[in-house]
């Protein structure tokens, strides 16, 4: 498997608190993506990055922000967590555009 690590693996938090999820890669891949997975919705793109400090919004970006200050780290922040953000979050990396993605093991986030 590609060197991609998500942290934390599980988190329980309260509504209104900020939460940051980390995706760390050791593959030097250019592209990094954050998806959320919910029953019946598949994988929905939140934000993505096509280079250091180059990020853009996906289909479900409201309430989320990202930062990528170096190649290996892509951070996803929930500014003020809501119960609707309870989900499994996956990070994925790609070496070049259009090539296969490698996924991290996911973060199970529960917002109470």
Interacting residue ranges for another protein, rule: CB under 8 A: 31, 33, 35, 40-45, 48, 50, 56, 58-59, 90, 92, 94, 97-106
Distance CA 97, CA 49 (A): 11
- Closest CB to another protein among 2 and 80? 2
Cβ contact 78:66 at 8 Å? no
Closest contact distance (angstroms) between CB of 64 and another protein is 15
The side-by-side arrangement of strands in the sheet containing 19-25 is 4-7, 19-25, 73-78, 64-70
Q: Considering the complex, state which of residue 58 and residue 63 has its C-beta at the smaller distance from another protein.
A: 58
């Amino acid at each position: 498997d590609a060197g991609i690590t998500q942290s934390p693996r599980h988190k329980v938090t309260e509504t209104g608190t900020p939460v940051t999820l980390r995706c760390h890669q050791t593959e030097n891949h250019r592209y990094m993506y954050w998806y959320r997975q919910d029953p019946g919705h598949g994988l929905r793109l939140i934000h993505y990055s096509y280079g250091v400090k180059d990020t853009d919004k996906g289909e479900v970006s409201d309430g989320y922000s990202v930062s990528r200050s170096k190649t290996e780290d892509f951070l996803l922040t929930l500014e003020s967590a809501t119960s609707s953000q309870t989900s499994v979050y996956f990070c994925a990396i790609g070496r070049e555009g259009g090539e296969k993605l490698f996924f991290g093991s996911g973060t199970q986030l529960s917002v109470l």
